[in-house]
Chains A and B, each alone.
Chain A
Amino acid sequence: MREAPVLQVKDLQVSFTVDKKPVPVVRGLSYSLPAGKVLAVVGESGSGKTVHALSILRLLPPGAQISGGEVLYKGKDVSACTEKELQRVRGQQISMIFQDPAASLNPVLTIGEQLTETLLAHKKITKLQARQEAAQLLEKVGITDAQKRLDEYPFQFSGGMCQRVMIAMALALSPDILIADEPTTALDVTIQAQIVRLIKQLQEQARMSVIFITHNLALASQVADEILVLYGGLCMEQAPADELFAKPLHPYTQGLLASLASVNTRPERLPAIPGQPPVAGENFAGCPFAPRCPHVTDKCRQSLPPLREIGARKVRCFWESTK
């Protein structure tokens, strides 16, 4: 893990403007992504996991802005890039796949047209060469009969197949980093296993780094080398995957793991976390998990715990047992 990181996120802060007031959504996120590793960013809706990913590529929607911190790709600050420089970063160096594959593809263009578009925009090749390359890409992601399928439209592909096309498109320019934002949430479980395996396999072949964004801790445990748990726009816990699942330190991680239903056991009751996840903009002073935490003290409500380093892990909690 001690290689030079391909991506460093330093104290990243993102806020949305609501009623002319800034509402922080990502509140100081730092991590580094080593080459050839998979980092899973785990969080619930509203935790800032997608917003943080979009800000790496500077694809934030109107009304959202990076209000602090920097994103360093191989030492270069992406957040200071001009639009022209960004075009080279996007796709060639960092690319992204999204949750709903069918909605990410243009319904009125064939798969071939959409794949060659990327290639022609970035490479000096002829249309025919681009088509050949596109067919190879489709085969690489496990789509058979690629030549024929290039002329088909997205509606002729199933959800899983569309996500394969998205992956082919994302990998067309051999990026160093792939950001996968809930790539399997819209898919069935049997298809989920296929897609996750495919991403993992391509990642290992190309020694690519992957930021795998998910709300599913169990899935994260199966793909990631490192896990980062987000809650209310803050990193609550970060640890190598095996350590995190062997001994979760933060009460939120513990609660989340305990509350998952399992196919192996049938408890009388699930140990649920009480309360609701925070809404962006509320609870600024203390720990965002304080209202739901079983170990909460007055200190937690008044001040935000710092992110403490314990060996290879980090945890944001005052609780004695995490020390």
Chain B
Amino acid sequence: MSACVEITHLYKTYYRHKWLFGKGSAVPVLKDVTLSLPQNRVLGLVGESGCGKSTLCKVLLGIEKPTAGTVLVNGQDIAGLDRAGRKKICRHMQVVYQDPYSSLDPRMTVRQLLSEPLDIHGLHPDKKQREQFLQDLLTSVGLAPSYLDRYPHEFSGGQRQRISIARALALDPQILIADEPVSALDVSVQAQILNLLSDIKKARKLSMLFVTHDFAVARFLCDDIAVMYKGRIVEMAPADELFAKPLHPYTQALLRAVPQVGRPLAKPLAEPGADVPNGCAFAPRCERASEKCRQAVPPFQAAAPQHFCACVQFTKGDVQ
């Protein structure tokens, strides 16, 4: 199983604005993230708002530059690329954003929206062939080919998200980054889009980074899951394994907190307290935290084959 995206020891730090001179205080957003996206699999990145999920996407897409660490896409470091090199990489890596209302240009028709990536990369220049391609593309996301000349405002949220997905698929990418693609949609429409993404995953050979805060959604779509807390990956495992045996106390708390019919209201977690500068970021909210947790950042290590966890409670070989 080769990986098409390889992230190693990635750090991203933002600086708070300071008056006139000098750098403001540092705000570390990603801390020592090591992650790989295997080919033809869906990796779910789960975490709460502010944990750094979207920043990770931005770094991957080259919108933000990493402070330290490397990001390899198909074995190529994206940091040192020039314009042409970046364009080449973008061809294989596309993104679907959360809000289908703000991510589509309201002044462009669906045809223009879908043609733009093709024009940039010079694909399907033949007019007739292009038309056929666009029609097939729309059909593949469950929309009628006759919608090509409509504007985004004529569509509902679910339909717009289908257009966003079609636009991302226009270049037939190897890697699809989906940043909370269903959380802005109505409940009765979410299932449709999740099914569509599941179909795409089966029909096309692509790898997906699926960012979400909702474990139930991740359960349905993802093969592997990485859980993020305050800029660090705290647990990573194949989905079935993670749901059967969540190890990290934060993963356990998150899983408990998902509302489910027929389950009583979850026991709440403590408020996120002050940051622990040198220890485990989750320690202030953790029931099992000991002195040890506050003294050093727990290493991210294998607790079982393919099951990694950053918690001092688990050392190698703890879980069989």
Contact = CB atoms under 8 A, between A and B. Distances in A.
Interface of A: 44-45, 158, 160-161, 188-194, 196-197, 200, 215-219, 221-223, 245, 252, 255-257, 259-267, 269-274, 276-277, 279, 292
Contact of A216 (B259, B267, B269): B259
* Closest 6 A/B residue pairs (Cβ): A272-B191, A259-B191, A194-B268, A218-B259, A270-B191, A188-B48
A188 B254 CA distance: 10
Given A44-B188, A194-B269, A215-B187, A263 B194 contact: no
B195 interface: yes
Contacts of A272: 188-189, 191-192, 194-195
A263 B265 contact: no
A277 B259 contact: no
B159 interface: yes
A276 B189 contact: yes
Contact of B188 (A160, A196, A273): A273
A190 B257 contact: yes
B3 interface: no
22 contacts: A44-B187, A160-B271, A188-B213, A189-B258, A190-B254, A190-B269, A193-B256, A193-B265, A193-B266, A194-B269, A216-B187, A223-B265, A245-B262, A260-B187, A261-B191, A261-B194, A261-B216, A261-B220, A262-B260, A263-B243, A269-B198, A279-B156
B253 interface: yes
Contacts of B195: 269-270, 272
B186 A45 contact: yes
Contacts of B192: 272-274
Nearest to A161: B271
B48 A190 contact: yes
A312 B228 CA distance: 45
A276 B158 contact: yes
B187 A193 contact: no
Contact of A263 (B198, B258, B269, B272): B258
B255 interface: yes
Interface in B233-285: 239-240, 243, 253-269, 271-272
A273 B188 CA distance: 6
B310 to A, nearest CB: 18
B240 to A, nearest CB: 8
Contacts of B213: 188-189
B187 A262 contact: no
B210 interface: no
Secondary structure at chain B's binding surface: helix, strand, loop or mixed?
helix
Given A192-B257, A276-B156, A276-B159, A260 B216 contact: yes
A188 B49 contact: yes
Interface string B144-180: 0000000000001011000000000000000000000
Given A197-B268, A216-B259, A269-B198, A189 B254 contact: yes
B54 interface: no
A143 B11 CA distance: 34
Nearest to B264: A222
B105 to A, nearest CB: 22
Contacts of A219: 259
A198 to B, nearest CB: 8
Contacts of A216: 187, 259
Contacts of B214: 189, 261
Contact of A215 (B159, B186, B220): B186
Contacts of B271: 158, 160-161, 191, 194
Contacts of A196: 265
A236 B190 CA distance: 20
A277 B271 CA distance: 36
A186 to B, nearest CB: 9
Given A190-B269, A221-B259, 16 more contacts: A45-B186, A189-B48, A197-B268, A222-B259, A222-B263, A252-B188, A259-B191, A260-B191, A261-B219, A261-B220, A263-B260, A269-B198, A273-B189, A276-B156, A276-B159, A277-B188
Contacts of B194: 261, 270, 272
A215 B182 CA distance: 14
B109 to A, nearest CB: 20
A222 B243 contact: no
A222 B158 CA distance: 27
Given A266-B219, A277-B189, A189 B257 contact: yes
Contacts of A263: 215-216, 219, 243, 255, 258, 260
Contacts of A261: 190-191, 194, 214, 216-217, 219-220
A262 B217 CA distance: 7
A129 B159 CA distance: 55
A158 B265 CA distance: 22
A116 B239 CA distance: 50
Nearest to A289: B188
A233 to B, nearest CB: 15
Given A161-B271, A188-B48, A217 B187 contact: yes
A218 B220 contact: no
Contact of B267 (A193, A245, A264): A193
Contacts of A158: 271-272
A190 B259 contact: no
A215 B20 CA distance: 46
A221 B262 contact: yes
A259 B266 CA distance: 22
Select the residue from A188, A200, A223 with max chain B CB neighbours within 10 A: A188
A292 B189 CA distance: 11
A59 to B, nearest CB: 24
A113 B279 CA distance: 37
Nearest to B158: A276
